[in-house]
Amino acid sequence: MKRVSDIDPLGVERANPSDAEREKLRQERLQHDKYLGFQQLIEFCNLGEYGMAKELAARHSSWGYEIVDGVVMDRVD
């Protein structure tokens, strides 16, 4: 770790990612969020909390899942 006196506040300490790198990171984050959401929905269904699972799926429609008869399914639009 650098000492505060060694840091140039106007200098370039870290390169900014390019637009393509930012988009890639954004896509990876969205995919990870979707995976974690799927795991949460499955857990609610396994616990018999179908109402909670339906509410969570509706609140996070960007995940693309719905609950049908207590089963997590890909939503078909």
Average of per-residue pLDDT across 60-72? 94
Query: Does any domain span residue 9?
Result: no
Average of per-residue pLDDT across 53-74? 94
Query: Does any domain span residue 2?
Result: no
pTM, rounded to two decimals: 0.73
Query: Does any domain span residue 14?
Result: no
Distances (CA, A) of 70 to 1, 4, 20, 21: 51, 56, 39, 38
* Overall number of domains in the chain: 1
Mean model confidence pLDDT for the chain: 90
pLDDT at 60: 94
Quote the domain boundaries for residue 60.
Answer: 19-74
More confident of the two residues 8 and 52: 52
